[in-house]
Amino acid sequence: MNTQLIIDYLQALNQNNNREWYHANKEDYKRANAQFEELLQALILEIGKFDSSILHNNPKDLTFKLVRDTRFSRNKSPYNPAFRAHISSKGKLPVPVGYYLMIKPGGQSFLGGGLFADMFKDATRMIRDYITENGEEWEQIIHEPEFEAHFTPQGNALKNVPAGYEKEHPQAEYLKFKSWYLEYPLKDDELKDGEAFLAKAARLFRIMKPFNDYLNKTLAGFQMPAR
């Protein structure tokens, strides 16, 4: 896999973020996208060694479009110069939570996990309820030394503990969250060697798996809202 080809294309798109350039260089996009899908296929096989639930996925079904929705944004650039994918047992749906990859040159690339979306009120409630009853398990996961060396749980949060939950609960700070996710930032240099990056990504995803497993236990029975 040629990850440098991915980086070069995204850097060029970032510098020429307009429809004319994009369509004039569609073949470059296809070549870069093919390399990204090849990377995803290799990553699926590596993750599958410790999480077989994701092995059935087709890389093409896990990626997100470059086109941006600019209707409500001050930034009217038509494209997001990033290749993104979410790998879980149900593909790129936000639930069940899984393993997220964004390649965006310029210091914006990262590996992620957990629940990034906070618009699903039922999911938020289910996670809060589970943490309330299973706080010790949560603490064991996030303070496991190898995990703690690489990750800190993040999320959009309320200023106060929401109504219905104890303000003095041991995990009160996490009950304020509306989403619970992990991010591991990647430098551009870490992406240039495809094989080395693949090994690093697989290792970090293995470390975050207990966090994902915990959230997925909380979300058992969650139904995605109908569109």
3-state secondary structure of 38: helix
Range of the domain at 181: 3-218
pLDDT, tens only, 147-186: 999 999 999 999 999 999 999 999 999 999 999 999 999 9
Taking residues 29-57, report their average pLDDT: 98
Considering the domain boundaries, does residue 30 fall inside one?
A: yes
Instruction: List strand residue ranges (DSSP E) for the chain, in order.
Output: 83-87, 98-103, 109-115, 180-186
Decide if 161 contacts 175 (C-beta within 8 A): yes
Considering the domain boundaries, does residue 94 fall inside one?
A: yes
Burial (CB < 10 A; 0-12, 13-18, 19+), residue 3, is buried
Q: What is the pLDDT of residue 152?
A: 98
Helices 135-142 and 121-133: angle between axes, nearest 10 degrees: 90
Q: What is the pLDDT of residue 25?
A: 98
Task: Count the domains in the chain.
Answer: 1
Q: What is the pLDDT of residue 227?
A: 72
Considering the domain boundaries, does residue 166 fall inside one?
A: yes
- The pLDDT > 70 percentage for the chain reads 100
Considering the domain boundaries, does residue 137 fall inside one?
A: yes
Residue 81 sits in a domain whose CATH number is 3.30.930
Categorize the per-residue pLDDT at 60 as very low, low, confident or very high, splitting at 50, 70 and 90. Answer: very high
Considering the domain boundaries, does residue 34 fall inside one?
A: yes
Which tokens go with 40?
């995803």
